[in-house]
């Protein structure tokens, strides 16, 4: 879960989004997204897919199974 949190934080910063902006783009509240980056909650699969599509990366990359 820590790898996912790290990847989400790095990608968000790379793309220039705030946590609030990204939460809105994937349809969750700010607090939910914040927990994803803190590694205290896992996003449901549909939200992971939205994140992967938004950042143009694979699900494997997001969860640390594969590097870009």
Q: What is the pTM of this model?
A: 0.91
* Overall CATH class of domain 2-62: mainly alpha
Q: Domain residues of the chain, as ranges? A: 2-62
One-letter-per-residue 3-state SS of 17-62: CCHHHHHHHHCCCHHHHHHHHHCCCCCCHHHHHHHHHHHCCCHHHH
Q: What is the pLDDT of residues 17-59, one digit of tens each?
A: 999 999 999 999 999 999 999 999 999 999 999 999 999 999 9
Is 66's pLDDT higher than 90? no
Q: Please state, in angstroms and rounded to a whole number, the distance separating the CA atoms of residues 63 and 48.
A: 9
The rounded percent of the chain whose pLDDT value lies above 90 is 91
């Amino acid at each position: 879960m820590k790898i996912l949190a790290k990847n989400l934080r790095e990608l968000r910063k790379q793309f220039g989004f705030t946590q609030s902006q990204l939460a809105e783009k994937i349809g969750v509240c700010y607090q939910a997204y914040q927990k994803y980056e803190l590694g205290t909650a896992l996003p449901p699969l549909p939200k992971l897919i939205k994140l992967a599509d938004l950042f143009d990366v694979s699900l494997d990359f997001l969860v640390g199974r594969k590097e870009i």
